């Protein structure tokens, strides 16, 4: 009987057990992605509000001698202050990253990917908030940076979240782990 079912296309129990699973197992990690993003965003926003209120127009605060200071800087450009004339483009890039991450969230079953994408999302939202709501105007606002290591660019917590998320994505990619939780050996 099983042979007749195979011939006419009706699967038997053995065929179902041998077939690889098509769908990733476990719950989606959308809530984790948004929780990580929210924490990164709130920490960034809170730190920038504190810096603007207490540090802007004041002397830098030395944290570790000359090696690390907190110094309020308004950055209209990208990393290292480059691209000051392209603020609108950086705004568009941040908005695009946010849309891509939100769309990818439906296929997210991997906890490490949820953390990585959450860091990227929170950081992008943090800097996008500055670009939209800070002077000199909508979509042209300067980002508030304040962490000033010696001989390096001044940055903020959103930048840190973006860099950490990006590094984690590279590591996950090298390990062959996909956002849907599958592992491939390429």
Active-site annotation holder among 159, 178, 180, 186: 159
Asked whether the beta carbons of 122 and 166 are under 8 A apart, the reply is no
Active-site annotation holder among 12, 145, 178, 186: 145
66 is catalytic: no
Give the chain's length.
186
130 is catalytic: no
Transcribe 64-124 into DSSP letters: ETTTEEEEEEEESSSGGG--GGGHHHHHHHHHHHHHHHHHHGGG---HHHHHHHHHHHHHH
Structure tokens at 64: 């570790």
Active site residues: 145, 159
């Amino acid at each position: 009987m099983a042979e007749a079912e195979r011939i006419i296309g009706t699967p038997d129990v053995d065929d179902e057990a041998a077939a690889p699973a098509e769908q990733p197992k476990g719950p989606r990690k959308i809530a984790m992605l948004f929780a990580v993003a929210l924490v990164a965003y709130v920490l960034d926003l809170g730190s920038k509000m504190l810096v603007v209120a207490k540090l802007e127009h004041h002397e830098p605060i030395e944290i570790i001698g000359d090696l690390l200071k907190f110094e309020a800087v308004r950055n209209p450009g990208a990393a290292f202050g480059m691209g000051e004339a392209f603020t609108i483009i950086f705004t568009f890039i941040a908005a695009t990253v946010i849309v891509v991450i939100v769309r990818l969230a439906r296929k997210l079953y991997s906890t490490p990917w949820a953390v990585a994408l959450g860091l990227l999302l929170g950081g992008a939202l943090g800097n996008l908030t500055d670009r939209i709501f800070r002077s000199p105007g909508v979509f042209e606002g300067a980002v508030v940076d304040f962490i000033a290591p010696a001989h390096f660019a001044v940055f903020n917590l959103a930048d840190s979240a973006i860099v950490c998320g990006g590094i984690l994505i590279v590591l996950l990619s090298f390990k062959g782990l996909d956002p849907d939780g599958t592992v491939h050996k390429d």
